[in-house]
Structure 1
Amino acid sequence: MFSEIGQLVFDNEAVAKTSDFTMGLEIEMQRVDETGQLSQEPYPSAAGDEKTNPWITNDFLETMSEVVTPPAAHALDAMHYLYSINTALRTALSPGELLWPLSMPPRLPKDKSQIPLAKMGPKKEAYLKEWLKRHGFSEGTPCGAHVNLSIDPHVFNLVADNMSDRFSSHIDLQNYLYAKIAQGFLRYRWVITYLFGASPIAEANYFEKGEGPSSPIRSIRQSSHGFGNKFTGDYTSIQRYVDRIEKGVKEGKLISDYEFHGAVRFKGNTNLRELPKTGVSYLELRMLDLDPSSSVGIRTNTLRFFRLLASYFIMSPGLHPEEVNRVIARADEMNEEVSEEHPNDVSKYQASARAFLNSLEMYANKIQLGPEYQEELDDLLDRVENPLTTPSAKLITHLKNGSLTDYALRRATRYQESALQSIRPFKGFENQAHLSADELKHELFKGSWEPDQDKKQE
């Protein structure tokens, strides 16, 4: 079951460190009015300056709010941050404004030219305008949940001390392990789409007449109908990842390296070219639709599952370098097929999904993870066996005249009312241009809760 590195970690009783990832979250949601139209209200001033506040910002549209958490040492810590910052955003909204809980946008106007792009400064605004010319308005509007993961330094130190003959430097090891985890997530992205896909339909005016799926599917956002550039990355190594993106920019297929929106992105240096030399410091995982059953768009159990996956990918044998592109290309095809299946149908790849989750269960048992992981795996196996329990299948039971607007507004109103009842919502963004992670922690919680924040993401 274990790779050479996995066996080393297991023999040194350090397995717990392979699931002890630092986590950060980025959650996008559209601001809407009480009728389910994109909001006409200005950016909420009490949320701070959208150009400088690192914790609440905008993406693509002026109505597309993004909540960003500081890195936290545990899934529950990350969720504490997320709930608190999400509440701060909600209490900053204008009267009558709501946060749309679905990945696919609300009904769009026929004339999309009147909807303002995010006001993020001249350079970013020029980029957005160029992006709009290339892709069209609708393609930039889906929202999602991004999970950032960084490996516990103890893992790097243990491997470096015992396998110095295999890796030329600490950064070489770092890049190797992050590439290995990325390959694992891309290889099994289709499983994530099946289990967590939650964008079965698009509202009016998203697609042009005659375009788009003719019936509900598991995930529009995770399919070829969804967000962004279809440029494929090379995840064989960090150097090849960078070379591929730079070639795309040179050939005009990408506006800039920022436009690469693969399902996984390597992060660690704002200058992409330097990344192989300075080393990856965390992964950005971009394969989750918003979960409308949660006011913040993601659940703690989902984060635990992602941690389990990343640990499994560290500990298990990886792909041979010459196999990486072929295997990921095949996985992309499988993801497209799964994303376009009807939500109520048993997946074409049910047996493969079952086998993968059973393998995860054996791994969790072998390393003696807690009961919360076993419970989550049991729930996810139920989704594999019964597609009616998947998020998209549950969503389509709320369809009314081909729309989820009524359902989304009920949820959005409930979440907003709950946030407005918060005993002590945070009001500190309006007067402070930039709060550090430590300042934010102090201001948000005032000693009522203390996250274990001993590791940093850049």
Structure 2
Amino acid sequence: MNSLLSQRLAALSAAEHLSSIRGIQRGLERECLRIQPNGTLAQTGHQPELGAALTHPLITTDFSESLLEFITPVSTEIETTLNQLADIHTFTLKQLGEERLWPLSMPCYIAHEDEIRLAQYGSSNVGRMKTLYRQGLKRRYGSMMQAISGVHFNFSFPAGFWQHYAAVLGQPEVEQDFISAQYLALVRNYKRMAWLIVYLFGASPALCSSFLQGRDSKYPFQQLGKGSLYLPYATSLRMSDLGYTNSAQSRLKVTYNSLDEYIAGLHQAITMPSEEYADIPCSAEQGFQQLNSNILQIENEFYSTIRPKQTTQSGERPTCALAARGVEYIEVRALDVNPFSPLGVSAEQMRFLDVFLCYCLLLESPELSHDDQLVTEQNLKKVVTDGRRQNLELQQQGQPRLMQDWAEEIFADLTAVAAWLDQAYGGSSYQDTVKGFYLSLLDPAQTYSGRLLQLLLSKQQDNGPFALQLAEQYRSQLLARDYQQYDDAAMQAMAAQSHRQQASVEAADTLSFEQYLQDYFAPKPCSL
């Protein structure tokens, strides 16, 4: 085991520090498409019974009217979070009539991207801005890739943990700068090893050929069934170049060695004009088609497998929030929808991420240059398309290394971190979880992508019919269950309140849309 990791774990296992790790805070964001009973994309608008997408705290939309996003509140209990997510699913399905929820990351059959209707958020300036941002995404990248679904895992350490961890590191005082620096150290290590998460949790080795719609692909796809394509060793086509990409972003130098450095890189991206997008209208006179013609319209357009985050206040940009109050939590974004869970994510995944993120914090984390990040991205791309291939080589510290050997080393360390967490929380669930996923390392067929592809190949079944069967199965399960955290009355009250809040937002507008956008983009992060 890594010696520094061993020292830190030993220190944190001391009686005076052990309990400080209890109370990890988590939240989930699960995206999923609404589909018709025949498996095609739902053409209905966001149902009013679900509340106002602009203001509802639990149920909103992502890119399109048919792409739902479910958001759980922050909780310290994994089962509570999953029960909340299940209740949201149950209530939603009750409002959808005959529509179902698509259980995969890669979208259902879509004949043309015009079927994908942009999400609408009402007549307020903030609502119009949200829709216009999506119009910009459509013009820049097309709508098909925006129909891809994923799961985001939000994670933060207990507030009291930082005092104890600072003592272990010999830090005399705990200030927000220290906490932000530690989260960024975690982020750097996560980026170095994100390929392991994609190997274990990737669940999109196949897709419907309609997704390509005549586009040329550099990938040597094989045919499956009547209209599905797959790569034999792929883990996550969602995370490939077919997914959410921005060629202009490859020129950006957003790095994570300090908070100021990260903010400066991201701020440059949202203020740097792009020749590629200069011809897309971005003014009232031209007829708005995007927020602006910069490389990124706003910070959210920057794709990363992980983000340092701070809760924003009304009208506040993410970089300004980070500059003002530091890193509050991190958002893990490399998760495919898990087709083997009706919720798209499991307790085992959440426990594994607890262990993995603690490991990323406790391990030494040297600075990561832009060139170093390019290497981590190349490693990720290899695992995305060939992760289950025998003897796959990655790059580690300038040298080729077998992915299997590197992963073995990581799992040895994860076992020690899991033992520390079990010591603090009681029981053996963390160690059991690590052991369970270790089996997927020994046998790639046990990974989510391996299991899914084997099911499809064994029956020569298309992606679509298989997913539709799952959607029917999960719909029945979720409608038959009892609420655990909410109930119909509470969810209906939340929906009604969200409509009232949207109406209040719309009534409170006093600025023109053009002035609203100008004011929104005017502030600079205070660290610049």
Q: Indicate the TM-score class for this superposition, using the shorter chain for normalisation.
A: 0.7 to 0.9
Residues 105 and 150 of structure 2 are in contact (CA less than 8 Å); yes or no, is this contact kept in structure 1? Answer: yes
Between stretches 267-276 and 140-149, larger displacement belongs to: 267-276
Q: Which residue of 1 aligns with 2:282?
A: none
User: How far did 1:409 drift?
Assistant: 0.9
Secondary structure of the residue aligned to 2:207 is coil
**Cα distance in structure 2, aligned partners of 1:338 and 1:222:** 10
- Is 1:220 the counterpart of 2:241 in the alignment? no
1:307-332 CA distance string (max 9 Å, x none): 1112222322222x3x4544433221
The 5 Å alignment of 1:69-80 reads 69-80=72-83
Between stretches 294-303 and 383-392, larger displacement belongs to: 383-392
Q: Which residue of 1 aligns with 2:515?
A: none
1:203-239 CA distance string (max 9 Å, x none): 1321143326314221111222222446363111221
The 5 Å alignment of 1:254-273 reads 254-270=296-312, 271=317, 272-273=319-320
User: How far did 1:15 drift?
Assistant: 3.8
Residues 12 and 168 of structure 2 are in contact (CA less than 8 Å); yes or no, is this contact kept in structure 1? Answer: no
- Is 1:360 the counterpart of 2:414 in the alignment? yes
Change (3 A) 1:17 1:330: farther
The 5 Å alignment of 1:68-217 reads 68-94=71-97, 96-109=98-111, 111-120=112-121, 121-159=127-165, 170-209=175-214, 210-211=216-217, 213=219, 214-215=221-222, 216=231, 217=234
Residues 20 and 164 of structure 2 are in contact (CA less than 8 Å); yes or no, is this contact kept in structure 1? Answer: no
Gap runs ≥5 in structure 2? 122-126, 223-230, 273-293, 394-402, 499-528
- Is 1:387 the counterpart of 2:444 in the alignment? yes
- Give aligned pairs, total: 431
**Cα distance in structure 1, aligned partners of 2:295 and 2:13:** 44
Residues 54 and 434 of structure 1 are in contact (CA less than 8 Å); yes or no, is this contact kept in structure 2? Answer: no
Match of 1:281 among 325, 328, 331: 328
1:87-124 CA distance string (max 9 Å, x none): 11121212x21100000000111x32243111122111
**Cα distance in structure 1, aligned partners of 2:95 and 2:441:** 40
Aligned AA for 1:56? Answer: I
Aligned AA for 1:115? Answer: I
Residues 171 and 277 of structure 1 are in contact (CA less than 8 Å); yes or no, is this contact kept in structure 2? Answer: no
**Cα distance in structure 1, aligned partners of 2:341 and 2:389:** 22
Change (3 A) 1:413 1:240: same
Match of 2:432 among 365, 371, 375: 375
Q: Which residue of 2 aligns with 1:56?
A: 59
Instruction: Name the larger-Rg structure.
Output: 2
Could you tell me the TM-score, scaled by structure 2's length? Answer: 0.76
**Cα distance in structure 2, aligned partners of 1:253 and 1:64:** 25
Aligned AA for 2:148? Answer: P
**Cα distance in structure 2, aligned partners of 1:389 and 1:310:** 23
Change (3 A) 1:359 1:165: closer
Q: Which residue of 2 aligns with 1:407?
A: 466
Q: Which residue of 1 aligns with 2:267?
A: 246
Aligned AA for 1:254? Answer: L
Residues 310 and 321 of structure 2 are in contact (CA less than 8 Å); yes or no, is this contact kept in structure 1? Answer: no
Aligned AA for 1:397? Answer: Q
Residue identity (%)? 25
1:320-367 CA distance string (max 9 Å, x none): x3x454443322111100111165656441121122112211333356
**Cα distance in structure 2, aligned partners of 1:312 and 1:427:** 42
Change (3 A) 1:173 1:5: farther
Aligned AA for 1:224? Answer: D
Q: Which residue of 2 aligns with 1:444?
A: none
- Is 1:337 the counterpart of 2:382 in the alignment? yes
**Cα distance in structure 2, aligned partners of 1:324 and 1:13:** 37
Aligned AA for 1:302? Answer: Q
Change (3 A) 1:45 1:363: same
User: How far did 1:151 drift?
Assistant: 1.2
1:249-304 CA distance string (max 9 Å, x none): 11121111221231111211433134133111111110110001100000001000
The 5 Å alignment of 1:407-426 reads 407-423=466-482, 426=488
**Cα distance in structure 1, aligned partners of 2:471 and 2:421:** 40
Secondary structure of the residue aligned to 2:488 is coil
The 5 Å alignment of 1:22-41 reads 22-41=25-44
Change (3 A) 1:86 1:14: farther
User: How far did 1:5 drift?
Assistant: 6.4
Q: Which residue of 2 aligns with 1:445?
A: none
Residues 27 and 71 of structure 2 are in contact (CA less than 8 Å); yes or no, is this contact kept in structure 1? Answer: yes
Change (3 A) 1:119 1:345: farther
Q: Which residue of 1 aligns with 2:519?
A: none
Residues 9 and 155 of structure 1 are in contact (CA less than 8 Å); yes or no, is this contact kept in structure 2? Answer: no
Could you tell me the TM-score, scaled by structure 1's length? Answer: 0.87
Aligned AA for 1:411? Answer: L
User: How far did 1:403 drift?
Assistant: 2.5
User: How far did 1:132 drift?
Assistant: 0.9
